[in-house]
Amino acid sequence: MTDENGATATGRLADKVIVVTAAAQGIGRAVAERLIADGAVVHASDINGAGMDGLDAESTTVLDATDGAAVAEYFTRFDRLDGVVQAVGYVHHGNIEECSDADWRRSMSITLDSAFYVMGAAVPKMKAEGGSIVTIGSICGSIKGFAKRAAYGASKGGIIGLTKSVAVDYLNDGIRCNSVCPGTVDSPSMRGRIAELAEKTGDAEAAYRFFIDRQPSGRFGKPEEIAAMCAFLLSDDGAFITGQAINVDGGITI
């Protein structure tokens, strides 16, 4: 069955039990929908419960992924897991001089602490039978520098570092760990960032150009295009891939 984005549901994730964080909107929501379409048993979570309405998941849970104790408690409900997608992240707009202490801490907390807690809780559930962890990284950070992304770039570089570390440490437990690194993707928060910049500068056209000019293909990515790569890595088709940062960026890094 092919959907309106040209994606074909494969069934290749049949019966795999997969946790998806940040599943209320944008990339996380598209990932959850794609995995469900491919046959997975999806457990979705987000800090925003209402955003998960209508998602045909096995469970939807309000979870603040920056709360280590809450994340640990959430994972006690699973005996074993086949996959996890860690999509929680936060974009601060600013160079290093424009980044306050609070901006820096918020960036590290939402993007990195959440990954530390979620991946740390997932690994023990995969050690017996193996599994696949996918982090949503970014081409911004350790792959390429972007204007006004000091804290964000630092946090996403950290995501790739943590991803590679987990991949090395648990290779022989059959756990694969990869980071999908999107270019600029059309999501609610990305639209919000354009609107915020337009309001700040009073120039809507320039604000739009700030984002679209990063995309040599002249268009933003679709959340579904990121989800397709996640589904591949979670499936047995990705069995020989681990420790990689895989760019899905419409040509930014050519």
Q: Decide if 144 contacts 253 (C-beta within 8 A).
A: yes
Q: Which residue is nearest to ligand NAD (CB)?
A: 89
End-to-end Cα separation, the chain, in angstroms: 32
- In the sheet that 41-46 helps form, which strands lie side by side, from edge to edge? 59-62, 41-46, 17-20, 83-86, 131-136, 175-182, 245-248
Pattern 152-171, ligand NAD, x by CB under 6 A: --------------------
Using the rule CB under 6 A, which residue among 64, 70, 146, 198 binds ligand NAD?
64
Using the rule CB under 6 A, which residue among 22, 177, 233, 246 binds ligand NAD?
22
Q: Cα dist. 63→18, 21, 28, 59 in Å?
A: 16, 8, 14, 12
Q: Cα dist. 153→30, 67, 216 in Å?
A: 23, 22, 20
Q: Which stretch binds ligand NAD (CB under 6 A): 31-39, 183-191, 196-204, 235-243?
A: 183-191
Q: Which is nearer to ligand NAD, 175 or 252 (CB)?
A: 252
- Applying CB under 6 A, does 178 fall inside the site for ligand NAD? no
Q: Is 152 a catalytic residue?
A: yes
Q: Which is nearer to ligand NAD, 88 or 99 (CB)?
A: 88
Dihedral sign from CA coordinates of 237, 216, 30, 189: positive
Distance of CA 199 to the CA centre of its chain: 27
* Active-site annotation holder among 74, 152, 170, 208: 152
> Which residues are near ligand NAD by CB under 6 A?
21-22, 24-28, 46-48, 51, 63-66, 87-89, 91, 110, 114, 136, 138, 182, 184-185, 187-190, 223
The catalytic residue positions are 152
